[in-house]
């Protein structure tokens, strides 16, 4: 099917957003093993030794994750690219939302684990309630691809989307705003768990998504490359976030997927 994609970009606004403050209070954690990552930085994909057996493939709280490096990056409000998003856009909201992520691969599988603080567990998608969600977006080509939903149909992105109301990961592709499409090959698995705390603000979502490294199919990110550009997006249902109403990483983070140590 041939579609036309809106070509307008909001690069200026996007840049402005990307320098948004780090004064947020949602990373009280003082774990010295957590490394702060900014867009443009490179992080290493960890290797899960072949002798480690994961009892449950996508267990979001598997012990293995305690042994792998943790990165933290700040997500800020995505620039509105559609009037409906603009209507709900709060330009005064500069607060960064912190997302902790870990990336790892085994012999044949690629894993990404995400966790973040969320005071409310929003699992329902109802007439008047929105669900929590998180997505990982990969440039199918290189980092010259727009991190905002790709650069048109010829330079698309692959998106793994976890939504709190179901235990399956949607495998999507997009080539510009409004073009997000459910792919015929649903190859990504995942699992999630919400950890409520007595202090609601400290409650956390843990999400693991994974895929076989070798997968064929159009718009499936090549996970055997040495460098994989990735950004994250996060939706808090409690704040009526959906579609472009979200917080995102404002430029690619590069995953070093090479086998070098």
Partner 1 sequence: MTVKRQLSMVLDLNKCIGCQTCTTACKLMWTNRNGREFMYWNNVETQPGKGYPRDYQNMGGGFDEAGALRAGRQPSQEDYGIPWEYNYEEALMTGTDPWLRPNVKPTWGANWDEDQGEGDYPNSYYFYLPRLCNHCANPGCLAACSRNAIYKRQEDGIVLIDQERCRGYRYCVNACPYKKVYFNEQISKSEKCIFCYPRIEKGLPTACAQQCVGRIRWIGYRDDTEGPIHMLVEKYKVALPLHPEWGTQPNVFYVPPLSPPKYGPDGEMLDESRIPLEYLESLFGDGVAAALDTIRTERQAKADGKGSELMDTLIGYNHAEMFKLS
Give me the residues that bind partner 1 (CB under 8 A), please. Answer: 3, 82-85, 87-88, 125-128, 165, 177-178, 180, 240, 242-244
* Residue 48 CB, nearest approach to partner 1 (Å): 34
Q: How many Å apart are CA 248 and CA 251, to the nearest integer?
A: 9
Closer by beta carbon to partner 1, 180 or else 220: 180
* Residue 145 CB, nearest approach to partner 1 (Å): 20
* Residue 160 CB, nearest approach to partner 1 (Å): 15
Closer by beta carbon to partner 1, 172 or else 231: 172
Closer by beta carbon to partner 1, 155 or else 181: 181
Closer by beta carbon to partner 1, 72 or else 82: 82
* Residue 10 CB, nearest approach to partner 1 (Å): 14
Closer by beta carbon to partner 1, 78 or else 99: 78
Closer by beta carbon to partner 1, 29 or else 243: 243
Q: The tokens of 224 are what?
A: 């055997």
* Residue 176 CB, nearest approach to partner 1 (Å): 11
């Amino acid at each position: 099917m041939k579609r036309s994609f809106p070509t307008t970009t909001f690069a200026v606004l996007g840049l402005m957003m990307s320098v948004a403050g780090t004064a947020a209070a949602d990373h009280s954690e003082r774990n010295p093993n957590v490394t702060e990552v900014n867009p443009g930085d490179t992080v290493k994909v960890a290797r899960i030794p072949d002798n480690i057996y994961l009892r449950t493939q996508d267990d979001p709280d598997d012990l293995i994750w305690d042994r792998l490096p943790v990165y933290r990056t700040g997500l800020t409000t995505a620039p509105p690219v559609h009037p409906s998003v603009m209507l709900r856009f709060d330009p005064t909201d500069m607060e960064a939302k912190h997302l902790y992520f870990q990336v790892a691969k085994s012999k044949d599988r690629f894993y990404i684990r995400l966790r973040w603080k969320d005071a409310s567990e929003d699992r329902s998608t109802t007439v008047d309630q929105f669900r929590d969600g998180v997505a990982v977006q990969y440039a199918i080509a290189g980092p010259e691809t727009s991190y905002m939903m790709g650069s048109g149909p010829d330079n698309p992105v692959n998106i793994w989307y976890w939504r709190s109301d179901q235990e399956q990961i949607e495998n999507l592709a997009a080539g510009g705003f409004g073009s997000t499409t459910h792919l015929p090959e649903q190859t990504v698995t995942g699992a999630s768990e919400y950890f409520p705390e007595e202090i609601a603000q400290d409650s956390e979502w843990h999400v693991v998504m994974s895929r076989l490294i070798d997968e064929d199919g159009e718009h499936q990110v090549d996970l055997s490359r040495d460098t994989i550009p990735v950004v994250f997006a996060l939706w808090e249902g409690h704040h009526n976030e959906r579609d472009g109403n979200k917080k995102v990483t404002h430029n690619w983070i590069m995953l070093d997927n090479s086998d070098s140590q």
